[in-house]
Structures are given as C-alpha cells and as structure tokens.
Structure 1
Amino acid sequence: MTYFPDFAEYEYETPKPLRGVRTIGWLDAAHEFQKAHPSDEVLQRLQTVMSERVTSNIHASLIRGTMPCPICGVRDYPHPELLVGSTEIWLPDNDGGYFAAPSMIYHFISAHNYAPPKEFLDALFGFEPASNFRAQKISEDLMAEAMGFGADID
C-alpha cells in the first residue's frame, strides 16, 4: 500500500491531484502515526458506515482480493462485510470536499491504535448513511476531471 500523510492531496494513481480530496490513514511501517486507544464508539460507527450499501456506499476502487497490512502483514481481517483491505472509503469532509482512506483504516484503528484526525472523525460521525452518497461515482467523476475528460460532479 502507498503511504500518504494525513491531509495530503489525493494523487493515488492519478495524473494530478483530485480536486478537493484529501488522504487519511494511508499508513505503512516506515512512518510514524498518531496513536490512541480506539473507542468502541469509533469502531462501531466505522462498522455501520462501511457496511451500508443500500442507501449509500462509501466504498470506491474495489480490488480483487485483499491487500496485506503494511504494518503487520495480516491479510485475513475480521468483519468481511467491511471489505477491509479491498477498497478505499470516501466521506464528505464538511468543507465541500472529501476524505479518501483505505478501507484498511478499520484495521489500523482496531489493531494498531491509529488515531485518525478529529476532522475525519467529525466527518464520520456527521455522515448520514441514508444520504444516497455514492463514493465510486464521485471518485470516477473526479478522476475523469483530472484526466481532462470533464465530468458532472456538482
């Protein structure tokens, strides 16, 4: 998995950074990260938001298979319904943009005590699962825009 610092412009496999998208939780073993004991409330909220796929879907960029954790190497994650290690999750950031995180953020928080920034947690708890949010569509539209194809993202 590629490392990005929190709040970096999103430029994972893109010709240029995606407008308004910032990275959260793109960790690896070579870089330090903020740690704190995770609260049950944060883990439960992540489970709720990550498992919803009917009225909204925060998952984007699904891959075949599962990426191993770049910190501990595990690749058999609990809660298969969360798609940990197989997608990115995108959330509106409360400023008109988006946060993009690997779905492995759930593992990073629960197993490695990663402490996501307050802004991400605010977005997580402010997200309405019944909002008809479609991360894949937003991701595709912003990628098309970055490639110069134009898209309807507003």
Structure 2
Amino acid sequence: MAGWVEHVTLPSFDRLLIARLDTGAKTSSIYATNVEMTERDGRRWVSFTVPGDENGEELHLEKPVRRSVLIKRGTDEYDNRYVVDMEVCFNGQIYKTQVNLADRSHLNYPMLLGRRFLKDVALVHSGKTFITEPNCGDASNG
C-alpha cells in the first residue's frame, strides 16, 4: 500500500524526490530541463538536467533513448518526449523503470509514477500520503 504522494530516491545519484502516484497515467515522468538528443555509435542518446533539490544541486545526466512518445497536453496540443530507463527506489526496493523527460516546472511534484510502474509494485490509497520508505540500502528488484 502506498499513498498518492510518496518520497522516492534515484539511488545512483542519492537524490530524494517527491512523486505523485497516478493510476491515470500510463508512463512515469520526471522533471527534466536542457533536454538534448545526440547520436553516439549509431544510437540515440539524450542529455538532460534534473533541477536542484533542497540543496540546489542539479543532476546532469546522459542516457540512451529507449523510445519517444507523444503525450496529449490539451485539446490539440502534444509533446514529443524521450523515454529513458532509470532506477527508482520505492518502498525499500530498487526498480528499473521507463520514464519520459518532461517540463514539470508548473506542477507540484517533480516525478510522476504511472501504471506501468505501479501495476506490480503498489496499491495506491487515495486518502494517504508518505506512508512508504524511500530508503533502499542495497536492496534490488525489477
């Protein structure tokens, strides 16, 4: 069981984030800026920045592009977003999941965990928040 808002960690970077658990969204999403696609050895890669945490430290990352998705924003508006693999520590376990890179600056939470992530991981309690443990230690899964 998890609340509709939870702490998660990006374990490779020791970054704590607040995530909204959204069963209405298929794919997970993370707040990313300075998103630039390049090609390396015939493969698409994307460089991006995860904006600063409470200490102001930004993360500058480069990852292979898994795919691109069109996300509907409004009646006639779509965003083309890159999808990458990331490790997320959630409720004491590390999971590898796909996240799309999005401008979430206008939203309350820098990360959104969608159905693809949640389906085998948690039931979401719509009336509770922060009931899981974001600390993983050496745990691994997914």
The TM-score with structure 2 as length reference comes to 0.30
Question: Of the two structures, which has the highest relative contact order with CA contacts closer than 8 Å and spacing of 6 or more?
Answer: 2
More helix by share: 1
The TM-score with structure 1 as length reference comes to 0.29
More strand by share: 2
